[in-house]
Amino acid sequence: MADESKEPGTRRRIKIGRIRIGLNVVVQIVLILFLAAMVNSLAFKHYKRWDFSRDQKYALSDKTKRFLDTLKGKMRITVFFSPSTPISADLQYLLTEYQYAGKGKIDVEQIDPERNLSRAKELFDKYKVVTDESLLVLDYDGRNKTVKASEMADIDQSGMALGEGPRVAAFKGEQAITSAMIDLVEGKKKILGYVLGHKEPQLAEGSAVSILKTFIENENVQFKELNLLDLDAIPEDVKTVMIIGPQYDLSDREMKVLRNFWDKQGRILLLLDPAAKTPKLDAFVNELGVKVNDDRLMVYLRTGIQELALTRDVQARFLGDSPITKRLADVRALFLGGTSSLTLEPDRVRAANTRLEPLIQAEKGYFAETDYNTDNQAKLQEDAKRNSNTALTIGAAIEKGGSADERVQVNSSRLVVVSNATFVQDNAITQDQQGLDFISGSVNWLLSREQLIGIAPKVSKPLTFSLDQDALARLRWIILIFMPLIPAVIGTVVWWQRRV
């Protein structure tokens, strides 16, 4: 009887235990599902993207990201691309990066004009599109701008005669889209005066600064040629003046126009050619606290165990203390041709509320030679040993009347001077883009567009190899002998093992 009376209690405890186990399992499942949902939610809202492609084709540049951060409203991008367009996939990946960097400010709508005819016609009528070419339309604050596929890529069609399809030689989507965005947001283009009349490089197609011209124009800037001899004053719409490598000095009349422009809070970008004699321009810069020295920067490079070679091409680095070069800090660039040194004298002009900032310094080992036309190697080597540890400045920024605090916007006169004028020419820029980034930062600083200073988009290009005759001979041996020999050896080994 006692055992029978215990059975209901035992069964009740077993049942309660099973219920507890079941509840624990249910609670654990709910918690796991909740944690999984929370992790997925956090991952969806807060995630990081990496671009592991060879040339970072889909990674947005620093300048584009900084510009997207300044957007105050939403920008809508409508894409009218057929799947057969060679850059469709590249564009889709790129726009995904724009959406990610825009943090909700970029809306993208993809429309195939061959399949969704009604929607395409509706938007074509809205945006007044009259071309059959694939394109995208940017819409911001009631204004719109189109970017055609031909503006976003260089297409190589040389293989069409052999039955091959068109090939993308260079994808320039970010340059075209970001340039269009800047145009759309800023509206009216900034006017940049370009001084001519002293044998400066022309702005015409195919000139020595054609790449620079295109690069600057892509940032919503319009060049305006100026001949100071024909002017009583710099036009009101010109806020910044660019002077690149004048081979002859400015006249007294021209210097008066330039000084009046500076005194009225003008902005000047001055690239000097040390080989040209421009005493009046040098004196103007000297009045502002920067002395242009009559010397040339040189360095001895070791080419063998006991062999030294003298070169005048300057390897220099950008200093990160200025807003112009903050994003280029410690980046190296090559300044071809002759370069002279600059001496900054801030104490001399501090009373006039003028601040000086070094921007570019030559690498260690360079020396400033005043007797730069001599062939006396013993003297040059002695000067190199004596002066090679001196810090040599070749670029500087001058600001008069502004505030030392970057957050405070005060009208001021600004000037950027570099003692080399060849680093912005096409033959130098094709080797690297640091010079373009520096000029872009200088122009944006002079135009008070600090938010656009950054590393500009890079033009992605196909990977190419250059092989000399010896390399071609080695490649021929590898293809004709060694590559067929490998499977032959493996086959021989397998046959021998089976035979044994």
3-state secondary structure of 500: coil
| Domain identity same for 290 and 389 | yes
Q: Is residue 29 part of a domain?
A: no
CATH number at residue 74: 3.40.30.10
**Amino acid letter for position 432:** D
Same domain, 339 and 424: yes
CATH number at residue 343: 3.40.50.880
- Nearest-angstrom CA–CA distance, 393 and 372: 18
Stretch among 179-188, 289-298, 317-326, 459-468 having the lowest mean pLDDT: 459-468
Query: Residue with structure tokens 């950054």?
Result: 454
**Looking at the structure, do residues 338 and 229 belong to the same domain, yes or no?**
yes
Q: Are residues 66 and 108 in the same domain?
A: yes
Is residue 38 in some structural domain? no
Rounded CA-CA distance 318/139 in Å is: 37
Out of 180, 204, 231, a domain closes at: 180
pLDDT digits (tens, 9 = 90+) for 350-392: 999 999 999 999 999 899 999 999 888 888 888 888 877 788 9
Beta strands in 365-474 (DSSP E): 367-369, 393-400, 413-418
Domain end among 152, 180, 208: 180
Same domain? 421 vs 275 = yes
Residue among 235, 165, 142, 161 nearest 195 (CA): 235
Local structure of residue 450 (DSSP, 8 states): G
The CA angle 490-494-500, to the nearest 5 degrees, is: 145
Residues 326 and 258 in one domain: yes
Assigned domain for 143 exists: yes
Kindly state whether residues 322 and 444 are assigned to the same domain: yes
Domain tally for the chain? 3
Whether pTM > 0.75 for this model: the answer is: no
Check whether residue 165 and residue 210 sit in a common domain.
Answer: no
Question: Are 118 and 174 in a shared domain?
Answer: yes
Domain boundaries, position 256: 189-452
Residues 285 and 409 in one domain: yes
Residues 405 and 309 in one domain: yes
> pLDDT for 318-331, tens place per residue?
998 999 999 899 89
Stretch 7-22: mean pLDDT: 72
